[in-house]
Amino acid sequence: TKTIREVLQEVIPQKQAQLQELKAKHSQASLGDVKVENVIGGMRGLKAMLWDASVLDPIEGIRFHGLSIPDCQKQLTPAPGGKEIIAESMLWLLLTGRVPTEAETRQLSREFAEKGDLPKHVEQLIDSLPKTLHPMTQLGMGVAALNHDSQFAAAYERGIKKSEYWTHTLEDCINLIARLPALAARIYRNVYKPGTPIAGINKDLDLVGNYVNMLGYGHNHDLTEYLRLYIAIHGDHEGGNASAHTAHLVGSTLSDPYLSYAAALFALAGPLHGLANQEVLRWQMNMQKEIGDKITHENIKEFLWKTLKSGQVVPGYGHGVLRNPDPRFIALQEFCSTRPELLADPVIQLVKQTYEVAPGVLKEHGKTKNPYPNVDAASGCVLYHYGLTEFKYYTVIFGVSRALGALTQLVWARALNLPLERPKSLSIDAIKQIVEKQ
């Protein structure tokens, strides 16, 4: 059994050599033109970023180091007594490109459990915040405050060689991932269950097992399994999405992993990105209120049109890259399909019936390039069923998960010595001058 550090010591020189070769032989090769539409269209489609852990195909969806979600479900170790992918095995895959053994996965679970307690000053900070402050704001603040103990920042101040950056970055990333469950759970308990004690960390449990325990739902095996799957498959979605890209950009200034990930969380907190999973539930509940018990395709269609005609987006539908139903949405639907109690739940049924109607309506509406559901369309309704009904909290769970991808790639950005990110911007006049000469 190797430690994750030993495996990285092996794979990093191989990747460094690969990158050197690419640089030496193909630096001047083109990956495509930069069109005006890319520059004014949110850089959609522009191939302008290195990100090794996952690649998103518009039709097939995400692959993590070449493995699809069903591949991961077959190959990655679950928790003892469970079936779903756990965060530790996904992290191993994202960070090293290798499928870990069961022993390697368990070793990482133990390390996370040993490092999972929050420093006192962060507990006090979170406890001092108003309960009305959005849970995502609290999460970002807590993560930023954890930089008090950043090994990278301390080592940089001492003066270290560039070749050592990644080792200190890795220690920060592991410490941060270990502490996220206690931080996220403390926010939940303070806001929604004030005055009740929080469970301690169990050294024999996986990261998400402990998270669910601290949230206060450890008795619910099905919810624990659902959150294991949820957190594994939300972990990475290539590099261009707003949260991953933010972590990468901020990290490129050599800000430490805590500050880089805090910034990423504030990108995740936007309604066009991670906040959509909160928005989906709110929207579906409004739909249910408005159409009552008479849930028919016709009534759902009418509600969809009302949303669109009022100029709002249908939350949980559309995507910057995907052009098919999101395989993460499918995986979460499949989790439901094997559990009759979930299938019978009216909110889950409403999500399913919306999926039967919404693509047709969105196609007719004719604006979105992708009329199909993304992961956020399905992720909240199962939490709601299991009693985690506080949907303003849902994006925090996404925030616990996205750390897996964003932080592992910070380690790689330092290992590959990727430079400060600094694209060239142009004014409208400058663009006009360039295109008018062509």
Q: Mark whether 26 is an active-site residue.
A: no
How far apart are CB 404 and ligand CMX at their closest, in Å?
15
Per CB under 6 A, 239 contacts ligand CMX? no
The contact mask relative to ligand CMX for 199-238 (x = CB under 6 A, - = no) is ----------------------------------------
Q: Mark whether 71 is an active-site residue.
A: no
**Which candidate in 168, 248, 273, 385 is catalytic?**
273
Closest listed residue to residue 227, CA positions, set 212, 241, 210: 212
Closest listed residue to residue 369, CA positions, set 327, 328, 318: 318
Q: Which residue is nearest to ligand CMX (CB)?
A: 318
How far apart are CB 399 and ligand CMX at their closest, in Å?
11
Per CB under 6 A, 320 contacts ligand CMX? yes
The 8-class DSSP code of residue 319 comes to: -
Ordered alpha helix ranges (H), 82-220: 87-96, 102-114, 120-128, 135-145, 151-158, 165-192, 207-215
Cβ atoms of 246 and 412 within 8 Å: the answer is no
Answer for which of 179, 189, 273, 414 binds ligand CMX (CB under 6 A) is 273
Answer for which of 133, 272, 426, 434 binds ligand CMX (CB under 6 A) is 272
How far apart are CB 140 and ligand CMX at their closest, in Å?
17
Separation CA 175–CA 276 (nearest Å): 28
How far apart are CB 34 and ligand CMX at their closest, in Å?
18
3-state SS assignment for residue 365: helix
Q: Mark whether 319 is an active-site residue.
A: yes
Answer for which of 315, 325, 327, 399 binds ligand CMX (CB under 6 A) is 315
Cβ atoms of 372 and 315 within 8 Å: the answer is no
CA distances for 270 relative to 264, 265, 278, 327, angstroms: 11, 9, 10, 22
Locate 189 and state its tokens.
């308990």
CA angle at 373 for the pair 339 and 48, rounded to the nearest 5°: 125
Cβ atoms of 394 and 282 within 8 Å: the answer is no
Answer for which of 368, 389, 390, 392 binds ligand CMX (CB under 6 A) is 368
Locate 394 and state its tokens.
């849902």
Per CB under 6 A, 367 contacts ligand CMX? yes
Answer for which of 73, 213, 370, 401 binds ligand CMX (CB under 6 A) is 370
Residue 319 or 385: the one with the smaller Cβ distance to ligand CMX is 319
How far apart are CB 35 and ligand CMX at their closest, in Å?
15
CA distances for 39 relative to 205, 248, 423, angstroms: 47, 20, 11
Cβ atoms of 269 and 395 within 8 Å: the answer is yes
| Helix (H) / strand (E) containing 239 | none
Per CB under 6 A, 131 contacts ligand CMX? no
Residue 235 or 316: the one with the smaller Cβ distance to ligand CMX is 316
Per CB under 6 A, 374 contacts ligand CMX? yes
- Tell me the window of 2-10, 21-29, 72-80, 365-373 that interacts with ligand CMX (CB under 6 A): 365-373
Cβ atoms of 419 and 252 within 8 Å: the answer is yes
Per CB under 6 A, 319 contacts ligand CMX? yes
**Which candidate in 319, 326, 345, 385 is catalytic?**
319
Per CB under 6 A, 330 contacts ligand CMX? no
Q: In the complex, which residues of this chain contact ligand CMX (CB under 6 A)?
A: 44, 241, 272-274, 276, 308, 313-320, 367-370, 374, 376
List, by residue number, the catalytic residues. 273, 319, 376
